[in-house]
A and B are shown apart, each in its own frame.
Chain A
Amino acid sequence: MKLAGLKSVDGAHEDSIWAAAWVPAADHRPTALLLTGSIDETVRAWQPDDLAAASPPAGGHALGVISLAAHPAGVIAAAVSIDSHVRVFDVDSGASVATLDAAPSEVWGVQFHPKGVALAAAGGGSGSVKLWDTEKWQPIASLPVPRPEGARADKTGSGKFVLSVAWSPDGKLLACGSMDGTIAVYDAVRMKFLHHLEGHHMPVRSMVFSPVDPHVLLTGCDDSHIHIYDAKEKGLIGAMSGHASWVLSIDVSPDGMTVATGSSDRTVRLWDINARASVQTMSNHSDQVWAVVASRPPGGEGVRAGRLASASDDKSISLYDYS
């Protein structure tokens, strides 16, 4: 599998871009959309083929957007900003749907349930994952991350800062990653903690389940490694190295064979999961790459499978085709 650059937009935002998400096509909108969020406190939408601006920038995301997630139905999306608000909005009109708040805890990464019934958010310093239903936007649950056995109690309290969340494609597992490298896996049906996954000792900023194997979890970590876990069996089944700095973002191709990562080393890398090896490196960004997102084909006839977008501190976004 190979990436080919399609289009880049320099100065897509006024400042560093920190988050991106594909909104799947919907009944009323035949094409997918790319959303990007920035420290400039706006979320912008882009056309999937030429990255033309799809709507005027939506402001109000105070202190900068750190995470974006799109509902699978393609109508709404959620944006998290440093002020710890989750703003749910209508993608096309930009109208606010709900503003969620898990005060006093921070909110960091968010992901919608694959069926769209719930929204999971990494609960920052509360050391837990917060869940809301997507109808009334009421909190459903708060899943705490237990301290791993034998771990030392940290005095600073900064250890259990939950950064990232991921749902398995069948919706049965939920995983969260934190600042100290702890990964916790939950039974998302019974809302029960299952176990920790070990191997990282630095912040796990991004993770994703394989779309073909609902047990396989891929993680990107500040230790510049990518780990492949069997989230059900609690095992580390692979590790890949090659990035020179933090792995900030990770996504997987729809066929589950290829992983894309964005790193502080300013590159986007493509990895062959079976060979456990890096197969391609894109160096078109000039600063940290905070987001790489692969578009998902289901329900999106208008979108060709195999689009990848990356967003960076250098204010630009890039679109790639892979074949």
Chain B
Amino acid sequence: MDLQTNEAGEIRSGMEKMRRAFEIYPYCTLALNHLANHYFFTGQHFVVEQLSETALSSSSHGLLKSQSYYNLARSYHSKGDFETAGRYYMASVKEVNKPQDFVLPFVGLGQIQLKFGDFKRSLASFEKVLEVHPENCESLKAIGNIYANLGENDKAIETFKKVTRIDPKDHQAFVELGELLVESDWAAAMEYLKTACTLLRKAGEKIPVELLNGIGLLYFEKAEFELAEQSFKEALGDGIWVSIMDGTAGSSIANWSVQYRDQSFFHQLEENVSLELPCDKVTTLFNYARLLEELHDTVKASLLYRLIIFKYPDYIDAYLRLGSIAKEKNNIQLSIELIGDALKINSKYPNALSMLGSLELQSDETWLTAKEHFRDAKDATDGKDPYSWLQLGNWNYFAANRPEKKAPKFEATHREKAKELFLNVLKQNHGNMFAANGLGILHAEKAQWDIAKELFTQVHEAASGSIFVQVPDVWINLAHIYFAQGLFQQAVKMYQNCARKFFYNTDATTLLYLSRTHYEAEQWQDCRKSLLRAIHLAPSNYLLRFNVGVSMQKFSASTLQKTKRTVDEVRATVSELQNAIRVFSLLSVASTYHSHGFDERKIETHVEYCRHLLDAAKVHRDAAEQAEKQTKQKLEVTRQIALADEARRRAEEQRKFQLERRKQEDELKQVMQQEQHFERVKEQWKTSNNTPGKRKDRSRHEDEDGDSGKKRRKGGKRRKDQKTKMQYEDDEEDQYRNEPEEDDYANMSRDPGGDRPEKAPDHLLAAAGLEDSDAEDETGHPQSVIERKRRAWSESDDEEPVQRSVQPTSPGPNDLSE
């Protein structure tokens, strides 16, 4: 039939024929259907409906009726009347016995069902279509979408993969695949999205903003910031943001960039340039701003956020990001105002409520109301958001440690409540690191080290493997546990790694923990150095100054108690004590205009003790120096004696040698003489005695004896020398050992309150050093809780805009459970 061909001319002639047929017999269903079909494509829905209804009433043939229903349904479908369309599709389907006969209404029906969210039935309809056309890509894609909606990602992926096998040019399928894989398989997702991009580029089509945005986010997630930036820039194309980025948007931009809530700049700018921001680009612009934040270019990021707010005043997340930036800059007032703006738009926005709560928790005046906001946030999410539960848990923990709630009863209740909340989060999200960390803290506070350690270790491991979730607190907490168990070396390592990894070594509190560990390990010099670093970072923290004084005092005291010290050590002690006294006295005077929380008398005691130690140390130093001098002199004397001895010995040897030689010569002479004599005797031919020779021999022997005796004596003398020297050394040592006691004693008796400074400071010292550090310990936890909150907060902010980024508060079951 001519109508089946798509040539315009043919259609027209076909139509003519049909119309003729219609005129001949107006109730021929076939003709009516074809006409209706035609008018559908020409968009004349009213005619379609009339014709189809006529066709319906004139026929009882199932298939024809089905076609008429289908035409009607299609007509309503395209007009947007989905319910009626659905009914007619149903009617049409009912008239079809086998889908093979007429498959089109199934497609329509499936679409309508999909529209109404009836995934199961829709799936059935499309499956019917597939029975007829197993390689129909549209239906397959529909099925894929249904699976995705039903949460059956594997099946969805399988389906879309089939589509790409059938039609490797279907970019839609690639996009879908990419998006399905975003969470599970970064590389594959990237691959698919890129393929879609390439396909679109080849086809010469414009790449949709969302696709580029998606690619950008994927790069963002992998911390490939440059590539992410490229994608976002490509997605955004040209616009006002370009001139904002390169700083050409007007020189006044920088002047104004600090007044976060002032939008007058954009008004001014709008007079000259058009500030267009198409709504499909807002999300990308927002993500780009997030990226800039990540790249630490907050000045530009906040400009973009404000542009978004200027054009879309209801874009609530932009307010929250600005609030977060203000908070990072410690501009709490502004941050609260910006969150207020956000809450004006939506008073139940959970992120805004959570942020507000976190801010309030930091202030002494408002921490109580923070709970209300956390609770509101929880209610706003129907309790489904683990983050709000976490925050409530943290709040309870925080409350337990507040001084005004320090009553044991309250404390226990709050702890119990916190525990319950954390456990609740863990029940919902098995791998929630923050909840596990919180639970660990609670166990740690009850000194259940093993359980706490186990929890912290697990979180630590899980967090180490993730780029996006950063839990510095767990490093600190684990270090605390090591510390509590006396594993100082591990604790030190943990604190150091944490400070370096997360805080660029700028965290004075971590240094304080470190110094406390060194203190307990009696590594005074390391302790002192850590504290000095901390003072350098936080010069107004007087606690650190006090501690550094204590550490120097401790160092000195321990050096003085050592049995063996070098003069240098004693000298160092003296100067350290002078430093300690200076530090304490400065603190003591400073307390007249600062309330840094130290009891003046306590400082005085320290000063007194240090003075007393210093006096002792000075005596020691003088003694040591004296001793050193003596030793040097003695050594010199000994050396000279030795030298003299040596000389003497040499001379002796020389003499001996010469003596010997002379003797030998003599002997030789004698022998010669004897020989001569013997010769003579022989010559004399007479018997005679040889006694003179014998006597000579004996005398020679005697001589040798005498020599060796001399030698021995000399040796003995030298040994004696050595002995005296050693004795001297011994004496010296005894002196050293005795002296301090004597001295201390003397000093103590001299000082009426001497007993106190001697013992009390030691006690105090423990009190000062340890109690203080304990206090720190306790405040340290909530602080880390706040820290954690801050982390969690900034991370959770990511959740909304960067939806595809890992949700940090619910890192997925694979993180911890395994």
Q: Assess whether A103 is in contact with B589, with CB atoms less than 8 Å apart.
A: yes
Q: Which residue of A lies closest to B364 (CB)?
A: A155
A111 within 8 A of B: no
Q: Assess whether A63 is in contact with B532, with CB atoms less than 8 Å apart.
A: yes
Contact of B506 among A240, A245, A276, A277 (CB under 8 A): A245
Q: Assess whether B505 is in contact with A83, with CB atoms less than 8 Å apart.
A: no
| Proximity bits, B253-271, A CB within 8 Å = 1, else 0 | 0110110000000000000
A257 within 8 A of B: no
B533 within 8 A of A: yes
Given A62-B575, A62-B579, A223-B330: A288 in contact with B505 (beta carbons within 8 A): yes
A246 within 8 A of B: yes
**A223 to chain B: which residues have CB within 8 Å?**
328-330
Q: Assess whether B255 is in contact with A83, with CB atoms less than 8 Å apart.
A: no
**A104 to chain B: which residues have CB within 8 Å?**
586, 589-590, 592
- How many angstroms from the CA of A270 to the CA of B756 in the assembled complex? 58
**B579 to chain A: which residues have CB within 8 Å?**
62-63, 83
- How many angstroms from the CA of A246 to the CA of B330 in the assembled complex? 13
**A125 to chain B: which residues have CB within 8 Å?**
540, 542, 590, 593-594
Q: Assess whether A157 is in contact with B596, with CB atoms less than 8 Å apart.
A: yes
Contact of B536 among A18, A157, A222 (CB under 8 A): A18
Determine the main DSSP class of A at the interface with B.
loop
Q: Assess whether B254 is in contact with A225, with CB atoms less than 8 Å apart.
A: no
Q: Assess whether B258 is in contact with A239, with CB atoms less than 8 Å apart.
A: yes
Q: Assess whether A238 is in contact with B254, with CB atoms less than 8 Å apart.
A: yes
Q: Assess whether A158 is in contact with B540, with CB atoms less than 8 Å apart.
A: yes
A112 within 8 A of B: no
Given A155-B595, A223-B330: A239 in contact with B296 (beta carbons within 8 A): no
**A157 to chain B: which residues have CB within 8 Å?**
593-596
Given A125-B594, A237-B254: A287 in contact with B505 (beta carbons within 8 A): yes
Given A201-B331, A202-B329, A287-B505: A161 in contact with B540 (beta carbons within 8 A): yes
Q: Assess whether B539 is in contact with A277, with CB atoms less than 8 Å apart.
A: no
Q: Assess whether A236 is in contact with B589, with CB atoms less than 8 Å apart.
A: no
Which of B255, B297, B504 has the most chain A CB atoms closer than 10 A to its own CB?
B504
B247 within 8 A of A: yes
Q: Assess whether B329 is in contact with A201, with CB atoms less than 8 Å apart.
A: yes
Q: Assess whether A264 is in contact with B505, with CB atoms less than 8 Å apart.
A: yes
A280 within 8 A of B: no
B300 within 8 A of A: yes
A209 within 8 A of B: no
- How many angstroms from the CA of A37 to the CA of B332 in the assembled complex? 36
**B233 to chain A: which residues have CB within 8 Å?**
none
Q: Which residue of A lies closest to B500 (CB)?
A: A287
B583 within 8 A of A: yes
B13 within 8 A of A: no
Contact of B255 among A105, A236, A241, A275 (CB under 8 A): A236
Q: Which residue of A lies closest to B292 (CB)?
A: A241
Q: Which residue of B lies closest to A200 (CB)?
A: B329
A77 within 8 A of B: no
**B56 to chain A: which residues have CB within 8 Å?**
none
**B532 to chain A: which residues have CB within 8 Å?**
39, 63-64, 82
B664 within 8 A of A: no
Given A241-B297, A313-B505: A64 in contact with B539 (beta carbons within 8 A): no
- How many angstroms from the CA of A48 to the CA of B575 in the assembled complex? 33
A167 within 8 A of B: no
| Proximity bits, B318-359, A CB within 8 Å = 1, else 0 | 000000000011111000000000000000000000000000
B298 within 8 A of A: yes
- How many angstroms from the CA of A124 to the CA of B295 in the assembled complex? 33
Q: Assess whether A224 is in contact with B539, with CB atoms less than 8 Å apart.
A: no
A66 within 8 A of B: yes
**A13 to chain B: which residues have CB within 8 Å?**
none
**A275 to chain B: which residues have CB within 8 Å?**
247
**Interface hits, A135-178 → B, CB 8 Å:** 155-159, 161, 163
- Tally A-B pairs: CB < 8 A: 126
B637 within 8 A of A: no
Q: Assess whether B535 is in contact with A82, with CB atoms less than 8 Å apart.
A: yes
**B332 to chain A: which residues have CB within 8 Å?**
201
Q: Which residue of B lies closest to A161 (CB)?
A: B540
The number of residues on chain A lying at the interface, defined by a beta carbon within 8 Å of a beta carbon of chain B, is 59
**A222 to chain B: which residues have CB within 8 Å?**
506
B474 within 8 A of A: no
- How many angstroms from the CA of A39 to the CA of B529 in the assembled complex? 8
Contact of B590 among A105, A155, A224, A227 (CB under 8 A): A105
Contact of A276 among B254, B529, B583 (CB under 8 A): B254
Which of B329, B503, B578, B590 has the most chain A CB atoms closer than 10 A to its own CB?
B329
**Interface hits, B524-554 → A, CB 8 Å:** 529, 532-533, 535-536, 539-542, 548
**B583 to chain A: which residues have CB within 8 Å?**
63, 83
Q: Assess whether B504 is in contact with A235, with CB atoms less than 8 Å apart.
A: no
Q: Which residue of B lies closest to A64 (CB)?
A: B532
**A63 to chain B: which residues have CB within 8 Å?**
532, 548, 579, 583
Contact of B539 among A106, A200, A241, A276 (CB under 8 A): A106
**A237 to chain B: which residues have CB within 8 Å?**
254-255
B726 within 8 A of A: no
Given A104-B590, A236-B255: A244 in contact with B504 (beta carbons within 8 A): yes
Q: Assess whether A163 is in contact with B296, with CB atoms less than 8 Å apart.
A: no
B582 within 8 A of A: yes
Given A62-B575, A62-B579, A244-B296: A238 in contact with B255 (beta carbons within 8 A): yes
- How many angstroms from the CA of A241 to the CA of B592 in the assembled complex? 40
**B254 to chain A: which residues have CB within 8 Å?**
228, 237-239, 276
**B535 to chain A: which residues have CB within 8 Å?**
82
A92 within 8 A of B: no
| Proximity bits, B290-303, A CB within 8 Å = 1, else 0 | 00000111111000
Contact of B299 among A84, A161, A225, A288 (CB under 8 A): A225
A113 within 8 A of B: no
**B296 to chain A: which residues have CB within 8 Å?**
224, 241-244
- How many angstroms from the CA of A163 to the CA of B331 in the assembled complex? 19
**A105 to chain B: which residues have CB within 8 Å?**
590
A179 within 8 A of B: yes
Q: Assess whether B504 is in contact with A264, with CB atoms less than 8 Å apart.
A: yes
| Proximity bits, A78-113, B CB within 8 Å = 1, else 0 | 000011100000000000000000011110100000
**B595 to chain A: which residues have CB within 8 Å?**
155-157
| Proximity bits, A274-316, B CB within 8 Å = 1, else 0 | 0111000000000110000000000000000000000001000
- How many angstroms from the CA of A275 to the CA of B16 in the assembled complex? 73
Which of A155, A157, A202, A275 has the most chain B CB atoms closer than 10 A to its own CB?
A157
- How many angstroms from the CA of A287 to the CA of B501 in the assembled complex? 11
Q: Assess whether B506 is in contact with A246, with CB atoms less than 8 Å apart.
A: yes
- How many angstroms from the CA of A265 to the CA of B506 in the assembled complex? 9
- How many angstroms from the CA of A64 to the CA of B540 in the assembled complex? 16
Chain A nearest CB, measured from B71 CB (Å): 63
Q: Assess whether A201 is in contact with B330, with CB atoms less than 8 Å apart.
A: yes
**Interface hits, A1-58 → B, CB 8 Å:** 15-16, 18, 39
**B533 to chain A: which residues have CB within 8 Å?**
16, 39
Q: Assess whether A82 is in contact with B536, with CB atoms less than 8 Å apart.
A: yes
Contact of A240 among B295, B299, B505, B542 (CB under 8 A): B299
Chain A nearest CB, measured from B290 CB (Å): 14
Extra A-B contacts (15), CB below 8 Å, given A223-B328, A238-B255, A243-B296:
A15-B529, A62-B582, A82-B536, A124-B540, A201-B330, A227-B258, A236-B255, A241-B296, A242-B296, A244-B296, A246-B504, A264-B506, A277-B247, A288-B506, A313-B505
21 A-B interface contacts by CB (under 8 A): A104-B590, A104-B592, A105-B590, A106-B586, A158-B596, A161-B539, A161-B540, A202-B329, A223-B330, A225-B329, A228-B254, A238-B257, A239-B254, A239-B299, A242-B295, A243-B296, A246-B504, A246-B506, A264-B504, A266-B504, A288-B506
Q: Which A residues contact B (CB, under 8 angstroms)?
A: 15-16, 18, 39, 62-64, 66, 82-84, 103-106, 108, 124-126, 155-159, 161, 163, 179, 181, 199-202, 222-225, 227-228, 235-246, 264-266, 275-277, 287-288, 313
CB-based closest 5 A-B pairs: A104-B589, A161-B540, A158-B540, A201-B330, A157-B594
